[in-house]
Amino acid sequence: MSASGIAAGQVEHTLRQVTPGRYDAYEALLRALATPASGQVWMLLWHGRAGSPDAQYGTMEVDGHGYAPCVTSAQELSASGWNRSYEVVDGIDAARTLFPDHYGLWLNPHAPGGGVGIPWLDLRRIATGLDRQPAGPLRLSEPAIEIPQFYALLAQNAHRTPAVRALRRAWVQPALGAPYLAIGLDVYDSSPPAVDAVRAMMQQSVGAVPDGLSVSTVAMTDEYDPVVMWMRAGARPFYDREAHAPAPAPAQAPAAGYGYPPSGRY
């Protein structure tokens, strides 16, 4: 079997397992797409030819979100009836191209049922490393767990760390995996010494976290992180250097989806 045949077999095998609510199967599809040389897709070009400067991917809109359509094999390309040019690329390269513009990837839109959409937030996970980001769609809320000692110690240590402007928090429940507490770091300075100081601040504070509770951090400068987007939308800081006082308040509900289609899409 050719390399492209092996690629199509792996992607298409996992694609066939994806049904609404089967987030484990969906994660397997993402892993197949993220594997170099075995996660190839046939990108449909609306303009130009593969490799030409004027080449442009096709686009489609689903529930208000943009996607670039593709097919998963030469056989699916033939079945689609597409009569323009196409470009065969690794899924990870397609992800790196699309996610910064908030475009997802739609697999086999011609197939019965309409195919499967990969939202841009999941393309970001493919591009940057699936294990580095929680599996979506995420459920985000104000933390309900009472850990005042941790918040007080963290705020105290933040006040002693000049690089820190403010701290926010969110309770994150991934589609797969255990929920955890996320701390949003709003900093004045991202130089290596400042990063080291902020890391030390967290290390000095996590001792007050109860056993079994996972804590992660996110940089508030990250324009593509869904947790950061949610915090910006309504989570007021529980530590704010410029306000000179903690200001806890419940966060507002985020805009639906943050790029994820409704759960019925996959």
Q: Where are the domains of the chain?
A: 3-132, 139-240
What is the rounded CA–CA span in Å between residue 125 and residue 128?
Answer: 5
Q: Write down the H helix ranges in 56-183.
A: 74-80, 91-98, 120-128, 148-159
- Give, in order, the Cα–Cα distances in Å from 61 to each of 68, 71, 127, 184, 248: 9, 16, 22, 32, 38
Position 244 scores a pLDDT of 62
What is the rounded CA–CA span in Å between residue 120 and residue 91?
Answer: 13
List the chain pLDDT tens, one digit each, 266 residues. 334 444 447 898 899 999 988 999 999 999 999 998 778 999 999 987 887 788 899 999 999 999 999 999 999 999 999 999 999 999 999 999 999 999 999 999 999 999 999 999 999 999 999 988 898 889 999 999 999 999 999 999 999 999 999 999 999 999 889 999 999 999 999 999 999 999 999 999 999 999 999 999 999 999 999 999 999 998 999 999 988 644 444 444 444 333 334 333 33
What is the rounded CA–CA span in Å between residue 182 and residue 218?
Answer: 7
Q: Which of 221, 226, 127, 122 is nearest to 173 (CA)?
A: 226
CATH architecture designation of domain 139-240: 2-Layer Sandwich (3.30)
- Give, in order, the Cα–Cα distances in Å from 103 to each of 54, 64, 66, 109, 179: 19, 11, 5, 15, 27
Position 74 scores a pLDDT of 93
